[in-house]
Amino acid sequence: MNFEEAKKRAEELRPLLQYYTKKYFDDEQVVSDYEYDMLMRELKQIEKDYPELITKDSPTQKVGASIKKGFEKVTHEVPLQSLQDVFSFEEVEEFDERMRKAAEEYNRPLEYVVETKIDGLSSALEYRDGKFFKGATRGDGIVGEDVTQNLATIKTIPKELKEPISITVRGEVFIGKEDFDKLNEDRLLEEQDQFANARNAAAGSLRQLDSKITASRPLNIYIFNVQKCEDIRFTTHYESLLYLEKLGFNVNPVKILCNNMEEVRQAIEKIGNLRDQLDFGIDGAVVKVNDLELREKVGTTYKTPRWAVAYKYPPEKKETLLKDITCQVGRTGAITPMAILEPVYVAGSKISKTTLHNEDYIKQLDLKIGDRVIIQKAGDVIPEVVGVNKSKRDGTEKIFEMPTVCPVCGAEAVREEGEAVLRCIGIECPAKLYRSIIHFASKDAMDIDGLGEAIIQELIDRKLLNNIADIYALTFEDIASLKKNGKKFAQNMMDAIEESKHRDLYRLINSLGIRHVGVKLAKTLTKYYKTMDKLMEASFEELRMIDDVGEITAQAIYEFFRQDQTIDLIDKLKTAGVNMETIKEENADNRFEGKTFVLTGGLEHYSREQASEIIEKFGGKTSSSVSKKTDYVLAGEDAGSKLRKAQELGITIISEEEFNNMCE
């Protein structure tokens, strides 16, 4: 590669690596570790061949990440450097050759300690007189983030050492394999985005501004270095690790003392072979000079110590059998196909199943049940099926079809236009029960005070809630049994449940969780249908003619009320005495009837929700966008584009004072 070619390539690589680095340290990995390492390696080689191409902002010249807004800065007394990566044993031998020359020059013994390179977030812990004083992330190596409160939630970090010593240590915060799998399974059931890998999950959890979130995550830590200790003078690194264990620290369990390069090679191979059996993720093996005086003599560069290298294992791909494809139903009804695999170890984890995302993904890969498939988990990314070995097909493979009904409850499964997800629309589906009841009892729905998430889960676990209507079958004794001395709580809950029976019809409609139907549309529907029976009888064509009801929404409403589960639930609610009609307000004032308001900017005396309620109370409606159909734009402070558009269209603009006068 000549100079011009190298310059052009370096200019391509720098912004790309800067983007990947930023995403990585923002706990969002968009490329595998291996791909990133190869690009960084390429840039380093270019800068080695042409030093004049090195720039101050080059990713090769920087360590770590920027400081997240909301955290105090902490300057590390001893920098938390990164390691030089190597990708072949020949490079490890080159490192050994440099160290042997240094050992001879300074007349020092040469031993190595080989450790697992834990895939997590590097942090420093400071102890004063044996008590945990402060903790910080690595940051850019010089300045990190003060995450003391978050680190204090990690159970494996001792709050007090077994000796009253002042010491600063460095460790890696991580989430173990089993804990990570469980965390993602829970998030899948909650239909939350899954973490891409354990490293991102750990880093994101530690860098939360709310320490309660950190405490809810299964974080662990392994200590691997003494950064500063004025009380004790260590001779070797291995000696310091043993002392850290004596103090009560959770020290990296894989630390192999090696007398020569052959033993180093064996240690690297051993760790590579043990990756599948380790209960934590690694992205390499670290080779460190053991003698601390030799380390001082060898020194460091700005970014990396010269006395250590990190051997990076290549990404793993494994072939296994796709035994079956099953479907999992999430709490909002999303039906996700799951690959059931012949168990195989990939990048340190035993993989027996993984998501296939959706129907389109299966078709894209041309997957069939019985195929030999390729699984990849590079850099501890979530395992996924990345290919099919079609040469091994023998004709016994079966084409998979997504179900037409929910595999849990048998209700219709619908894939709406423009969506990749298939959904169960059965309101009594057991898989959706928890989420359905939470929504039913919420403030904008039936507003059952006290019936929160934890209570709902407990009632479900005790088999006291098997469907929504069971709320109205709960007894005083059922509720009182949930809490110690729970009589007052039970009475308040019973009163709230009884009160909810008398809610207006729009609240009941909203509580049912019909796709695309919220409070606003529920209110609109009650203007056309004064009873639940009338709404249930409405045809698709009728629904389609209602303002604010599009074709997709009309279809969703129509299909919902023709489900056996919906009809069964409404019958049960009727029997329980739940109101099924619009509640007529006496002396109704419809001064805003037929008028559409758009709210923009900040109001002094109302929230937007409060202003919207007043408008709707007087028969008007609100819209989120300005159009020729808009009658008034209520403009508060810092009104923006909506105000400008109203001015362009000649829409009447009113102040909060004018709005007050209109409401008097």
Helix/strand/coil for 590: coil
Q: 266: how many CB neighbours lie within 10 A of its CB?
A: 13
* Cβ 267 vs Cβ 256: under 8 Å: yes
- Is 117 annotated as catalytic? yes
Torsion of CA 299, 303, 307, 310, to 10 degrees: 180
- H or E stretch covering 308: strand 308-311
Question: Cα dist. 459→190, 438, 439, 482, 610 in Å?
Answer: 18, 12, 15, 8, 34
Alpha helices per DSSP H over 280-401: 292-298, 359-365
* Cβ 375 vs Cβ 384: under 8 Å: yes
Nearest to 48 by CA among 62, 56, 60: 60
User: Of how many residues is the chain composed?
Assistant: 664
Q: Is the dihedral of CA 622, 625, 626, 628 positive or negative?
A: negative
* Cβ 339 vs Cβ 321: under 8 Å: no
Number of H helices, E strands in the chain: 24, 24
Annotated catalytic residue, options 62, 117, 255, 621:
117
Please compute, for residue 291, the number of CA atoms within 13 A of its CA located in the half-sphere on the CB side: 15
Helix/strand/coil for 83: coil
Alpha helices per DSSP H over 148-288: 148-151, 177-189, 198-206, 211-215, 237-247, 261-274
* Contacts with 90 (C-beta within 8 Å, 6 or more apart), sequence order: none
Residue with tokens 């190597």: 86
User: What is the rounded CA–CA span in Å between residue 272 and residue 285?
Assistant: 8
Helix/strand/coil for 104: helix
Q: Which residues are catalytic?
A: 117
